[in-house]
Structure 1
Amino acid sequence: MPRFFVDTPLVQPGEISLPAGAARHVQVLRLQPGDELTLFDGSGPEWQAEVTAMGRSEVRVDLLAAEQPQRELSRAVTLAVVMPANDRMDFLVEKATELGAAALQPLVGERSVLRLSGERADKKRSHWQGVAIAAAEQSGRTVPLRVEPVLLLAAWLAALPAPVDDEWRGLLSPRAASPLAAFPQRRALFLSGPEGGLSDAEEDAARARGFSAVSLGPRVLRADTAPLAVLSWLALS
């Protein structure tokens, strides 16, 4: 059954007019009155619905019943990633959404190849949020990954509050001696570097903000592979 995200609250059964984005998807698929579909607004529930009217400028559906599927990770995981180059961020956002990350914080570090700021950063963030929504539609998630504004790593670390009791912070480092191991906290924040890794000064600054350096094994993983390996481990642990 087709699944679509709608950028308007779905609150009660009844007939509604679909927002433009979702309406275009329905039109492209050539759905007809009587066809069933699933809608979600990012707040958690998903709605079973039925097309009631198709027009050139409007698509109307009847919201039938809401469900509360349990498809999220048992932990709320945020990935703080110094952005990889060569458009690998699209892949990272898509797969992080599929694997259950709650949020992704794009960062610019000392060794960054991809450097974004201003209007260009805003446009990229909007694009990545669209990638996350499409991945949520495909994967069955009802709460798409949230893409945060692009920030400088040093400024982000400086503004980061002290960790609270229910949050664990992990620094993914090929130089770390301790492997990633089980932790009891229900929230997690993982910091991962770009091609070439974080500098010594950046790793020291992260440790000063409560991050524990951990290793993902003897092999060197790509900048877009390491955070996804963590998500896969969390999903299966």
Structure 2
Amino acid sequence: MRIPRIHHPELLSVGQDVALCEDAANHVGRVLRMSAGHALQLFDGSNQVFEAEIVQADKKSVRVKVLSASLDNRESPLNLHLGQVMSRGEKMEFTIQKAVELGVNVITPLFSERCGVKLDAERLNKKLGQWQKIAIAACEQCGRNSVPEVRPAMDLEKWCTEEDDSLKLNLHPRASASINTLPQPVERVRLLIGPEGGLTADEIAMTARHQFTDILLGPRVLRTETTALTAITALQVRFGDLG
């Protein structure tokens, strides 16, 4: 059986005896039905992996002993910050999951004029917690040992005005530049993906004032979740660690 990879929210050290968090304990104890003596692999966001052994397990709690640690850096040399105007339902969850698998470092959910998501503060906070859990689960699955941050949702213009020395890119169906025409090298990118209906003319003009470069992916119009993953993949191929 493949050794499960489990995220631990606090820094680990060899020799520690630690209790898994509630979600991890539920997965290990209830779903996988693992018991004392079984092996786990833990990661804590420090780009290390920790071999561990279960010392106690039941349906409510799981304790493990950390046996060894090793550095396992699977991060891309390209630092990617995705600004994604929120999409409805499972589309946003899908985008976050796949963006993490493709190596994005930070994800900021955004509101824009044509954003189709309307949430009050309480529901939005629940969504943010859910999206962060999706990012953690994606790391557990794909082998990343550093968990991307899903930031609190914010207004598009506020995000665009944040000070950042990254190359700023905005996908636009009538742009003349492409990812292949961007000058090398590029180490940091701030990537803006708009809503299904696209950004308004005023929003596009606003991004230009804040030094965003309009780029074109190709001749076909893509859905917002397809656009994000296609752009991230193309950037990782050109400047990162894919291909």
TM-score w.r.t. length of structure 2: 0.90
The amino acid across from 2:103 in the alignment is G
Distance 2:115 2:29 in 1: 41
* Alignment partners' CA distance in 1, 2:20 and 2:111: 38
Task: Quote the residue 1:172 is aligned against.
Answer: 171
Question: 1:194-232 CA distances to partner (integer Å, 9 max, x unpaired)?
Answer: 012111111111111121110001111111111111221
Aligned counterparts of 1:81 and 1:122: Cα–Cα separation in 2: 17
- The residue that corresponds to 1:13 in the other structure is 15
The aligned residue for residue 217 of structure 2 is 216
1:147 aligns to 2:150 (yes or no): yes
1:67-106 → structure 2 map (5 Å cutoff): 67-106=70-109
Deviations 1:133-154 (A, max 9, x none): 1111111111122111111112
Could you tell me how far apart the structure 1 residues matched to 2:199 and 2:61 are? 50
Aligned residues, how many? 233
Give the aligned CA root-mean-square deviation in angstroms: 1.6
Q: State the match for 1:47 in structure 2.
A: 50
CA distance in 2, matches of 1:109, 1:120: 18
Question: 1:13 is aligned with what amino acid?
Answer: G
Kept in 1: contact 2:26–2:60 (CA 8 A)? no
Contact conserved, 2:179 with 2:235, CA < 8 A, in 1? no
- 2:233 matched residue in structure 1: 232
Where does structure 1 lack aligned partners over 5 or more consecutive residues? none
**Equivalent of residue 65 in structure 2, options 62, 66, 86:** 62
- Cα distance change of structure 1 residues 85 and 59 upon mapping to structure 2, 3 Å threshold: closer
The alpha-carbon deviation at position 233 of structure 1 amounts to: 1.6
Q: Answer whether contact 1:174 1:215 (CA < 8 A) is retained.
A: yes
1:12-50 per-position Cα deviation (integer Å, ceiling 9, x unaligned): 333222222222221021212221111112232121111
Gaps in structure 2 of 5+ consecutive residues = 239-243
Shifted more, 19-28 versus 172-181: the winner is 19-28
